[in-house]
Structure 1
Amino acid sequence: MPAYHSSFNEYPDMRLVGNTAVLPIRTRIRGPAPQPNSDEADIVDETLDLFRANSLFRNFEIKGPADRLLIILILYVSDCLAKIGSARVTPSQLEASKMLNTLSVDNFPIPGDAGFLLNTHYAPPGSRADGDYLRQYLTQARQELAVRLVERLYADGTGTPSKWWMSFQKRRFMNRSIGT
């Protein structure tokens, strides 16, 4: 059974930085991400919907630029769950939100950087300005992803993260982790 791919691979007028897609995101967080035309699902929703299924796969065939963005975001969700799971005491929703917000704005490698693990599958940004734009976009996407992930983790109202999500904290998509 093949892994699930992004439905945004055929998105019209998508901007590319290197060979990674820059897609619209519904967010109130400031940043360079384009705003979508409607309230339809965006790449962040798709990442959260496909995370658990795709994290079971060791191989992932990249079929387009949106898949490259999906891979980066899935690996970030995996690191978020590992961060919450590694806390000594199970964090409350507010504590988890603070932890993940800090993680989302921490310095991280982008395609083309020496520390980026998947450089063989990604083209580096064409210029320094493109690299800065991609870093800002990914930071904004990571912040929005952290907000929506916390909402899903604590959706039941018990004050503890969902065991159905936390069971994936040790799973590694493609046996990779972008965490340090």
Structure 2
Amino acid sequence: MPAYHSSLNELPDIRQVGNLAILPIKTKYRGPAPLADPAEADIIDETLDLFRANSLFRNFEIKGPADRLLIILILFVSDCLAKIGASRTVPNQLEATKLLNTLAVDNFPIPGDANFPLNAHYAPPANRADAEYLRGYLTQVRQELAQRLVEKLYADGTGKPSKWWMSFQKRRFMNRSLGS
């Protein structure tokens, strides 16, 4: 059974930096990301929907630039769950929000950096301006993803993260980690 791919691979006229798609998102955070239609699902919704199913796969065939972004976001969700699971006490929703927002804005490698774990699959940005744009875009997407992940984790109102999500904290999509 193959892994699930992004339905956004076929969108026309999508900007790319390197070979990574710059997709519109629904967000309240400031940044360079184009704004998506609030009525339609964006790449963050798709990441959260596909995370648990795709995290079971060791191999993933990249079918387009949106899949490259999906891979980075799935690996970031893994890192978020690992960060919450590694804390000494089970964090409440507010503590988890602070923890993951800090993780989202921390310095992280982008494609083309020497310590980016998937450089074999990603083209580096063409110039320094593109690299800064990509870093800003990924920071904004990571912040929004962390916010929506916390909402999903604590949706049941018990004050504890969902065991159905936390059970995936040790799973590694493609046996990789972004190394946060």
Q: Normalized against structure 2, the TM-score is what? A: 0.99
User: Counterpart in 2 of 1:140?
Assistant: 140
User: Counterpart in 2 of 1:29?
Assistant: 29
Q: 2-side partners of 1:37 and 1:145: how far apart? A: 17
- 2:44 equivalent to 1:44: yes
- 2:166 equivalent to 1:157: no
Amino acid at match of 1:88: R
Deviates more, 1:34-43 or 1:110-119: 34-43
Identity across matched positions, percent: 79
Q: 2-side partners of 1:64 and 1:128: how far apart? A: 24
Tell me, yes or no, if the aligned pair for 1:76 and 1:178 is still in contact at 8 Å: yes
* Structure 2 residues without counterparts, runs of 5 or longer: none
Q: What is the CA-CA distance between 1:145 and the residue it aligns to?
A: 0.1
- 2:6 equivalent to 1:6: yes
Superposition map of 1:5-154 within 5 A: 5-154=5-154
Tell me, yes or no, if the aligned pair for 1:26 and 1:39 is still in contact at 8 Å: no
Q: What is the CA-CA distance between 1:179 and the residue it aligns to?
A: 2.1
Tell me, yes or no, if the aligned pair for 2:85 and 2:166 is still in contact at 8 Å: yes
* Structure 1 residues without counterparts, runs of 5 or longer: none
Tell me, yes or no, if the aligned pair for 2:97 and 2:147 is still in contact at 8 Å: yes
Tell me, yes or no, if the aligned pair for 1:24 and 1:36 is still in contact at 8 Å: yes
Q: What is the CA-CA distance between 1:161 and the residue it aligns to?
A: 0.2
Amino acid at match of 1:146: A
Amino acid at match of 2:175: N
Tell me, yes or no, if the aligned pair for 2:4 and 2:54 is still in contact at 8 Å: yes
Amino acid at match of 1:84: I
2:29 match: secondary structure = coil
Tell me, yes or no, if the aligned pair for 2:26 and 2:37 is still in contact at 8 Å: no
1:21-75 superposed Cα distances (whole Å, 9 cap, x missing partner): 0000000100000011342000000000000000000000000000000000000
Q: 2-side partners of 1:13 and 1:38: how far apart? A: 19
Runs of 4+ in 1 over 2 A off after TM superposition: none
Q: 1-side partners of 2:117 and 2:125: how far apart? A: 16
1:95-151 superposed Cα distances (whole Å, 9 cap, x missing partner): 000000000000000000000010000000001000000000000000000000000
> Matched residue pairs, number?
180
Q: 2-side partners of 1:25 and 1:128: how far apart? A: 24
Q: 1-side partners of 2:16 and 2:54: how far apart? A: 23
Q: 2-side partners of 1:24 and 1:144: how far apart? A: 12
